[in-house]
């Protein structure tokens, strides 16, 4: 460990931009019968750098990493959160067509269709209260129908269990 070298950066002196250097361009030259004089040019300054401080300052706070205002998507615009890498990480996409998420295996874990409102979930849905018109379990074998106030269990051919009233039922 005594042989370890410590490297330090080389210090480079700051050299300012030349601003007051003048060149005498008023000298004329005569060759033969012609006189040549340098062209006169107007003093110009560097163009001013345009920075979109208003948009960034009022819509995005880069220090707190928060979005402060509404943004609108174009017809093809979207937000992609994360980067999908097979076997490593998934991603979420929010677009005018809906929201989708996929896991590291590339399987869709949830999707909400922006046009129809249909939602698909791969995992467990947990809530204190669920309100819906009807709950269909499996291949329509168990139906909990809130509108008609009944529960029907079907074996695939016939309704076998009926809880509630079904007009013309068994």
What is the longest distance spanned by two Cα atoms in the chain?
A: 123
Beta-carbon contacts of 147 under 8 Å, excluding residues fewer than 6 positions away, are 133, 134
Least trusted range by pLDDT, from 25-39, 55-69, 115-129, 139-153 = 25-39
- Within a domain: 111: yes
- Within a domain: 109: yes
Q: Are residues 119 and 66 in the same domain?
A: yes
* Per-position DSSP letters for 82-113, written without gaps between them: S--BTTTB-EEEEETTEEEEE-TTS-EEEEEE
pTM (predicted TM-score):
0.48
Give how many domains the chain has, as a whole number. 2
- Within a domain: 57: yes
Q: What is the pLDDT of residues 104-125, one digit of tens each?
A: 999 999 999 999 999 999 999 8
* Per-position DSSP letters for 54-79, written without gaps between them: HHHHHHEETTTTEE-S-----TT--E
Look at residue 20 and give its three-state secondary structure.
coil
Q: Are residues 69 and 122 in the same domain?
A: yes
């Amino acid at each position: 460990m005594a042989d370890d070298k410590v490297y330090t950066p080389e210090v480079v002196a700051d050299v300012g931009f030349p601003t007051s250097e003048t060149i005498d361009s008023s000298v004329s030259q005569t060759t033969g019968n012609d006189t040549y004089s340098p062209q006169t040019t107007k003093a110009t300054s560097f163009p001013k750098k345009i920075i979109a401080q208003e948009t960034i300052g009022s819509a995005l706070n880069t220090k707190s990493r928060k979005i402060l205002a509404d943004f609108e998507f174009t017809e093809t615009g979207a937000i992609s959160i994360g980067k999908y890498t097979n076997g490593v990480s998934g991603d979420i996409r929010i677009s005018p067509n809906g929201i989708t998420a996929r896991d590291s295996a590339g399987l869709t874990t949830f999707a909400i269709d922006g046009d129809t409102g249909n939602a698909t979930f791969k995992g467990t849905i947990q809530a204190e209260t669920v309100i819906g018109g009807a709950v269909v379990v499996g291949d329509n074998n168990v139906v909990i129908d809130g509108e008609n106030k009944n529960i029907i269990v079907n074996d695939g051919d016939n309704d076998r269990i009926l809880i509630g009233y079904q007009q013309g039922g068994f």
